[in-house]
Amino acid sequence: MLTAARSERDAAEALRVEDVPAGDGWTGVIETGEILRIVDLVGNQAVDTLLFDAADYGNRYSAPDTLREQASCYLGPGSRLVALDGAPLMTIVADTCGRHDTLGGACSQESNVVRYGEHTRHMHACRNTFLRQALGWGRGLSKRDLSANINFFMNVPLTPDGGLEFADGISAAGRHVELRADRDTLVLISNCPQLNNPCNGFDPTPIRLMVWPSG
């Protein structure tokens, strides 16, 4: 696990504070220099996140470029979240969890069926939330823009043979990650509703979003 880095930012100075219920989503632009804190209020809640250049939605977060640049398959303090143009959208500047996933992807109704059986097809999934958030935001976002995502607080170990395991979470109540916007960045969040793997202890819970001004 990467070394955790605690933030000392004063909550009273935050521009925005918003709680996102379990299974719900959030969309907003974080302007250059602003800080977005994501708080795992109860513990082990997976927070699926998409990032886009706010001036060009086609220039979105690139998991392969991000992992290649930092030579690590996990995200943590200091990770630069790189776009398709090779420059960072955001940087992790504080993190009390220490490791996050960007390999496991977002759960969907189709992947639920493959992993857990036909009886799970009706269950809500992050892809549904992402699509609802994208269409609700409008301004040109559509289903085709839903690509590689980050899973904050989610534990997906890479096995020696190159496989992935969806394991018990390594976060806890009150742990947080902070992202500094290196350019105006559109953020789409799905507060994961998954009930079939231990990414959130089989019990989805709320998260808190906080935004501080630049400087």
Fill in the DSSP letter of residue 145.
G
Query: What pLDDT, on a 0 to 100 scale, did the predictor assign at position 121?
Result: 78
Query: What pLDDT, on a 0 to 100 scale, did the predictor assign at position 15?
Result: 96
Query: What pLDDT, on a 0 to 100 scale, did the predictor assign at position 2?
Result: 56
pLDDT in tens, the chain (215 residues): 456 678 889 999 999 999 999 999 999 999 999 999 999 999 999 999 999 999 999 999 999 999 999 899 999 999 999 999 999 999 999 999 999 999 988 887 777 666 777 887 766 789 999 999 999 998 889 999 999 999 999 988 877 777 777 777 789 999 999 999 999 999 999 999 988 877 777 889 999 999 999 97
Closest residue by Cα to residue 171 from 73, 40, 56, 51: 40
DSSP 153-214: T---PBPTTS-B--------TTEEEEEEESS-EEEEEEE----SSGGGTT----EEEEEE--
Query: What pLDDT, on a 0 to 100 scale, did the predictor assign at position 197?
Result: 79
Query: What pLDDT, on a 0 to 100 scale, did the predictor assign at position 113?
Result: 65
CB-CB contact of 81 with 61 (8 Å): yes
Query: What pLDDT, on a 0 to 100 scale, did the predictor assign at position 1?
Result: 47
Residue labelled with tokens 């400087």? 215
Query: What pLDDT, on a 0 to 100 scale, did the predictor assign at position 48?
Result: 97
CB-based contacts of 176, cutoff 8 Å, min separation 6: 7, 37, 38, 39, 40, 94, 95, 96, 97
